[in-house]
């Protein structure tokens, strides 16, 4: 695995991306910070995989899950009641 400073990697970034894509991960160093660059292989949604299932479950369980109409109405009602009390 190759390790380079960011300054050293910048001029040859295209070549570096080709190397990483071919399977050779690279460690980049910026001051005291280290990052690993490795090939990303997208998950095929047509293929059942544990990774895809985990990503979907994370999305369903996240705080960004859409609220139902009833939940939104209850939140609005609660807000209106609190505004009236002021």
For every residue of 13-77, DSSP letters joined together read HHHHHHHHHTT--EEEEETTEEEEE-------TTS--HHHHHHHHHHHHSTTSPPPHHHHHHHHH
CATH number, domain with residue 24: 3.40.1620
pLDDT at 46 exceeding the cut of 80: no
For the cut 90, the answer to whether the pLDDT of residue 14 exceeds it is yes
Q: Would residue 7 count as lying in a domain?
A: yes
Q: How many independent structural domains does the chain possess?
A: 2
In this predicted structure, what is the pLDDT of residue 86?
A: 62
Check if the beta carbon of residue 9 is closer than 8 Å to that of residue 29: no
Rounded Cα distance, 21 and 56, in Å: 26
14 assigned to some structural domain: yes
* pLDDT at residue 54, as a whole number: 84
Q: Is 45 within a domain?
A: no
Mean pLDDT of the chain: 86
pLDDT on residue 49: 79
Are 80 and 55 in a shared domain? yes
Decide if 42 is inside a domain: no
The per-residue pLDDT for 8 is 95
Residues 33 and 59 in one domain: no
Q: Are residues 57 and 81 in the same domain?
A: yes
For residue 29, the cross-strand partners are: 5, 34
Domain that holds residue 72: 50-85
- Does any domain span residue 75? yes
């Amino acid at each position: 695995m190759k390790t380079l400073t960011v300054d050293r990697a910048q001029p040859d970034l295209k070549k570096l991306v080709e190397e990483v894509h071919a399977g050779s991960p690279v460690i980049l160093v910026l001051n005291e910070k280290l990052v690993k660059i490795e090939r990303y292989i997208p998950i095929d949604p047509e293929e059942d995989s544990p990774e895809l299932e985990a990503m979907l479950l994370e999305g369903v369980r996240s705080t960004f899950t859409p609220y139902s109409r009833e939940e939104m109405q209850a939140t609005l009602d609660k807000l209106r009641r609190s505004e009236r009390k002021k």
